[in-house]
Amino acid sequence: MVKRLLIVGAGEAGRMLAREIGSRAREQYLPLGFLDDASQLSGHTVDGLPVLGTTRELVAVARAQNADEVLIAVPSAGREFVRRMVALCRDAGVAYRIAPGLLEIIKGPVHLEQIRDVRPEDLLGRETVEFDEAEIARFLDGRTVLVTGAGGSIGGEICRQVGRFDVKRLVLLGRGENQIYEIERELRALYPARDIVPVIVDVRDAAALARVFAAYRPDIVYHAAAHKHVHYMEGFPAEAVKNNIAGTRNVIDAARAADVARVVMLSTDKAARPGGVMGASKRFCEFLMASRNDPAGTKLVSVRFGNVLASRGSVVPLFIAQIRAGGPVTVSDEDATRYFMSLKEACMLVIQASLMGEGGEIFILQMGEPIRIAELARDLIALSGLKAGSDVRIEFTGLRPGEKLHESLIADDEEVAPSRHEHILCTRPKLPPRAHIDAALASLESLAAAGDDNAIRAELARAIADATLAGGNAVKTKSAGHA
């Protein structure tokens, strides 16, 4: 059956697609015409197709033309535009898809194969960031790469991205055997020529970690192993110390002993002006990385992430699961905002940092304006073909201990500078004296061994000038959407 198609956007992308449909897909689509907000196009034809109205008239035009599907072909479309088009298509009862973004247009012609469903990353309000893959390929060529936390969603995606390049060996290190088994099996199917080595080791075990590093002598280490859930670490501060802080110290020591060239640690925007134990633990890890950096030896670099779309345990998969269950979708606060990045952006940022870093820096992706969590929830409900309120209820549950209303990318005492990548910022943390960091580390490990949670919070607050840590056991609070 031929689908009757409306094209939103009579610019270059829309015209390219209309021409390709005419030459290649006449049996699939019948282009009805364009919708475009340019006043000079009203009532005219473009490449033989009429401009049937503006985007505001989508519902009326779709019904009048008996359209089956709408194609959004506006490469520069921001989050609000995409959201509005999705809502109008839903009101009109027509299917919708989207053409590639501006960066893909610049690279070459638009083809039918690039048309796809609207995805959560289309709601970022910006183009996803591109990285220089040729430079990355040269950097990784012939090197041994080790990834800690390789069974996690971000660690696993780093492995997938690294596996695309001609590395000598890829070592998958993690403590969860099932997760390592799954990523190993996937990578062997994707990259049968790669030398892939699974290793079941916990980063808390310094001696075992040192043996692995000595055996495989990695050139580059991507340190993704960490506890990341804010409310769990608020309830179990000792685990944040043992896994995040001591685990990072163990990776640093093993890397330096094995003459690893570069280590990149994954941090978080929650480390800047931390309001909870998880963020404070990652800020302390940034201190460890910068204070132990050796300009003549192992270079230690950190990257701060925003919230990663589609990573396991993040807010988008949670919202999608709640929507599929019929709701409610749980949001902490109507005004809460977060920075977001795609999973590929996060992983390529890590790899890019490993080749740019000279040691001691923190790299941060420019993620545009923060997004309101409540609006993201409404967007995802609309993408599911439903309406917030009448079809799926949104429930506001309140901020949990350790959560902030708004996140920061930069700490109070940090200065930001551009890097040689136009979308990546660089900062160097203002460090306490090395002796103070070492003393705080020893104290934190002793307190973690004793299980003294309140004293751990107090020690972190002393070590991090702009931290605001409160007591309380967040695990006992009501579960909610979080980011």
DSSP assignment string, 5-49: EEEE--SHHHHHHHHHHHHH-TTTEEEEEEE---GGGTT-EETTE
Would you state the pLDDT for residue 331? 94
- C-alpha 359/C-alpha 62 separation (Å) is 56
Q: What Rg do the C-alpha atoms of the chain give, in angstroms?
A: 25
| Long-range contacts, stretch 48-56, CB < 8 angstroms, 24+ apart | 49/7, 49/18, 51/10, 52/6, 55/8, 55/81, 55/84, 55/85, 55/88
- Given 270, 282, 299, 344, which residue is catalytic? 270
CA-based angle 100:103:104, to the nearest 5? 45
pLDDT reported for residue 280? 97
Query: Can 282 be counted among the known catalytic residues?
Result: no
Residues 6+ apart with CB under 8 A from 40: none
Of 279, 276, 300, 298, the C-alpha closest to 288 is: 300
Tell me whether the omega of the peptide bond preceding residue 274 falls within 30 degrees of 0, making it cis: no
- The encoded tokens of residue 252 equal 């640093």
Instruction: Supply the pLDDT for residue 106.
Output: 33
What does the alpha-carbon distance between residue 157 and residue 58 come to, in Å, rounded to a whole number?
38
Question: Given this model, what pLDDT does residue 12 score?
Answer: 82
For CA atoms 380, 383, 387, 392, the dihedral sign is negative
Look at residue 115 in the predicted model and tell me its pLDDT. 56
In order of their start, the domains of the chain are 3-118 (3.40.50.720), 133-432 (3.40.50.720)
Phi, psi torsion values for 57, nearest 5 degrees: -95, 15
Give the span between the Cα atoms of 117 and 147, in whole angstroms: 32
- How do the residues of the chain divide into helix, strand and coil, expressed in percent and rounded to 5? 45, 20, 40
pLDDT score at 402: 85
pLDDT of amino acid 78: 72
Residue (of 268, 318, 304, 264) closest to 139 by Cα position: 264
pLDDT score for 125: 58
Say how far apart CA 399 and CA 481 lie, in whole Å. 10
Please list the rounded mean pLDDT of every run of 10 residues in the chain (483 residues). Answer: 89 85 80 91 89 94 94 78 84 82 40 54 62 89 97 93 96 97 97 97 98 98 95 96 98 98 95 95 97 94 85 80 92 91 82 90 85 85 79 92 86 84 86 95 98 96 90 39 51
Instruction: Give per-residue burial for 312-345: e unless 16+ CB within 10 Å, then b.
Output: eebbbebbbebbeeebbbbbbbeebbbbbbbbbb
Contact 457, 444 (CB under 8 A): no
Cα–Cα dist 393/137, whole Å:
47
